[in-house]
């Protein structure tokens, strides 16, 4: 057994994890403090918002109202909603809303096909009706806009090299109230998801100052109409595809608009989030294969590898680090004779996680440790979901419809 090779592999895996989860976020937090300023627009560009909806009777009215409540010229704003085989009152509400707002249009899809295909179809249908200099905004129904969001979202397009803009997605006020009452209840991962979303937004803001935002957050994002490219059939994580495709073009930037705020509810159910992350694990690997060229582009390599590639590969990095560490420990154990190494190694791999879990029980009673332990458990659980997502990619087919946190489907 080559000790040097085991040590080298374990060191590479450990340092990669340290970089993507500690060093890189710290670097982006520092960059996020740098100011970003944009030249004022001569006039508001024509903007078209495309949105898919499936059984959204609880949110569709609030969403549409938040759009048309924005301080944006209504003559330069069109909103198109594609309802995806809704079985509730979404279609009836859309008919009423279209009468109330002249700039709102409704497209009914009788067979459920999923968000990516709806967006692709709507773009195709309006391709010749929209001026080429228009701005395309993609958003989810549950992302409620603040009054100045659209104006702030299109402002960076005053720079001709900006092809895409990521909005600042914040948890809903209800999530924050839930988080304040109990930061880490058992079986509820709202607190962990809030921390993750906050970290993602800060990271995107840091990337925006010195490079480009890597990967979009589909709740609210914008791009130049003529630069949009339909996502391929079978792709699960379409929002990453739309922005990453922009970055493959030369002299192109995707930036973050801090003041373009949309608030959306975060699902706190642990089981639903596990299923969601499992699906993302499959979609992430699809995108890694499609956009592997970004690893070799000077403008995107550092950000893409640090933020996405290492995160997507973190389950295997964790396994490599753990296996190497247990192998090194057992190689120098006194019982290392004949088959002792293999037996000790297997015992460490099986018993160590159980021992850590048992030791964490008394610490959960102390508030100072409760949040940290829940965060660690969430981290391990979500990486397990990503691992299963990779298994699904090769051995299991899935429906190509988008994920709904609130309905878990």
- How would DSSP label each residue in 390-407? HHHHHH---------TTT
Residue 185 lies in a domain: yes
Q: Over 50: is that where the pLDDT of 361 sits?
A: yes
The model carries a pTM of 0.85
Query: Two tokens at 12?
Result: 């590479």
Q: What's the total number of domains in the chain?
A: 1
Q: Is 361 exposed, middle or buried (0-12, 13-18, 19+ CB in 10 A)?
A: exposed
Region 341-367 average pLDDT: 56
Lowest mean pLDDT among 42-46, 139-143, 322-326, 359-363: 359-363
Q: Over 60: is that where the pLDDT of 161 sits?
A: yes
Beta bridge partner(s), residue 78: 48
Q: For the chain, give the number of residues.
A: 409
Lowest mean pLDDT among 13-27, 175-189, 227-241, 367-381: 175-189
- DSSP 3-state percent helix, strand, coil across the chain (nearest 5): 55, 15, 30
Residue 109 neighbours by CB under 8 Å, 6+ apart: 82, 83, 84, 85, 118, 121
Identify each DSSP E strand in 85-130 by its residue range: 104-109
Beta bridge partner(s), residue 174: none
* pLDDT band with cut points at 50, 70 and 90 for residue 345: low
Region 339-354 average pLDDT: 57
Residue 261 lies in a domain: yes
Residue 342 lies in a domain: no
Is the pLDDT higher at 297 or at 188?
297
How far apart, in whole angstroms, are the C-alpha atoms of residue 280 and residue 184? Answer: 24
Residue 98 lies in a domain: yes
Q: Please provide the average confidence, as pLDDT, over all residues in the chain.
A: 85
Residue 372 lies in a domain: no
SS3 of 329-346: HHHCCCCCCCCHHHHHHH
**What pLDDT sits at residue 406?**
47
**What pLDDT sits at residue 408?**
42
Largest CA distance in the chain: 81
pLDDT digits (tens, 9 = 90+) for 89-120: 999 999 999 999 999 999 999 999 999 999 99
Is the pLDDT higher at 179 or at 4?
4
Query: Two tokens at 260?
Result: 């373009």
Query: Two tokens at 373?
Result: 């332990």
Phi, psi dihedrals of residue 104, rounded to the nearest 5°: -100, 135
Region 53-66 average pLDDT: 96
Residue 383 lies in a domain: no
For β-strands 220-224 and 162-171, DSSP reports them as antiparallel
Q: What is the CATH number of the domain that holds 205?
A: 3.90.550.10
Question: 232 and 122 in contact (C-beta within 8 Å)?
Answer: no
**What pLDDT sits at residue 353?**
58
Residue 350 neighbours by CB under 8 Å, 6+ apart: none
Place of tokens 């009788």: 110
**What pLDDT sits at residue 234?**
83
Is the pLDDT higher at 249 or at 109?
109
pLDDT digits (tens, 9 = 90+) for 254-307: 999 999 999 999 888 888 888 888 888 888 899 999 999 999 999 899 999 999
Q: Over 90: is that where the pLDDT of 155 sits?
A: yes
* Best CA proximity match to 45, nearest among 69, 71, 77: 77
The C-alpha angle 255, 257, 263, rounded to 5 degrees, equals 130
Phi, psi dihedrals of residue 171, rounded to the nearest 5°: -65, 155
Query: Two tokens at 353?
Result: 């996680």
The C-alpha angle 363, 314, 320, rounded to 5 degrees, equals 90
* Best CA proximity match to 44, nearest among 75, 16, 84, 65: 75
**What pLDDT sits at residue 237?**
84
Residue 348 lies in a domain: no
Phi, psi dihedrals of residue 356, rounded to the nearest 5°: -60, -40
Region 239-243 average pLDDT: 93
Is the pLDDT higher at 27 or at 239?
27
Residue 388 lies in a domain: no
Lowest mean pLDDT among 132-136, 266-270, 359-363: 359-363
- Domain around 59: 34-311
């Amino acid at each position: 057994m080559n000790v040097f090779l085991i040590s080298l592999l374990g060191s590479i895996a450990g340092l990669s994890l340290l970089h993507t989860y500690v060093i890189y976020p710290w670097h982006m937090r520092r960059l996020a403090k740098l100011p970003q300023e944009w030249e004022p627009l001569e006039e508001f560009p024509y903007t078209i918002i495309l949105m898919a909806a499936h059984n959204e009777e609880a949110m569709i009215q609030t969403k549409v109202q938040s759009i048309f409540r924005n301080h944006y010229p209504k003559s330069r704003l069109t909103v198109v909603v594609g309802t995806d085989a809704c079985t509730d009152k979404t279609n009836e509400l859309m008919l009423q809303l279209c009468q109330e707002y002249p700039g709102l249009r409704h497209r009914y899809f009788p067979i459920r096909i999923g968000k990516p295909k709806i967006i692709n179809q709507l773009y195709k249908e309006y391709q010749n009706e929209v001026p080429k200099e228009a701005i395309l905004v993609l958003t989810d129904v549950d992302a409620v806009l603040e009054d100045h969001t659209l104006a702030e979202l299109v402002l960076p397009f005053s720079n001709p090299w900006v092809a895409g803009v990521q909005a600042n997605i914040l948890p809903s006020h209800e999530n924050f109230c839930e988080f304040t009452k109990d930061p880490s209840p058992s079986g509820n991962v709202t607190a962990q998801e809030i921390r993750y979303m906050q970290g993602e937004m800060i990271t995107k803001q840091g990337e925006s100052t010195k490079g480009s935002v890597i990967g979009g957050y589909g709740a609210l994002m914008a791009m130049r109409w003529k630069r949009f490219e339909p996502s391929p059939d079978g792709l699960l994580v379409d929002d990453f595809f739309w922005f990453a495709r922009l970055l493959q073009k030369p002299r192109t930037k995707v930036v973050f608009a801090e003041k373009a705020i949309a608030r959306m509810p975060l699902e706190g159910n642990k089981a639903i989030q596990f299923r969601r992350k499992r699906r993302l694990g499959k979609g992430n690997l699809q995108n890694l294969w499609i956009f592997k060229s970004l690893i070799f582009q000077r403008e995107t390599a550092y950000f893409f590898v640090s933020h996405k590639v290492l995160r997507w590969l973190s389950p295997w990095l964790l396994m490599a680090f753990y296996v190497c560490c247990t192998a090194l420990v057992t190689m120098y154990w006194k019982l290392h004779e004949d088959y002792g190494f293999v037996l000790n190694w297997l015992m460490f791999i099986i018993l160590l996680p159980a021992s850590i879990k048992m030791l964490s029980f008394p610490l959960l009673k102390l508030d100072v440790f409760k949040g940290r332990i829940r965060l660690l458990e969430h981290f391990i659980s979500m990486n397990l979901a990503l691992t299963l997502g990779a298994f699904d990619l090769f051995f299991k087919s899935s429906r190509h419809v988008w994920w709904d946190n609130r309905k878990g489907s």
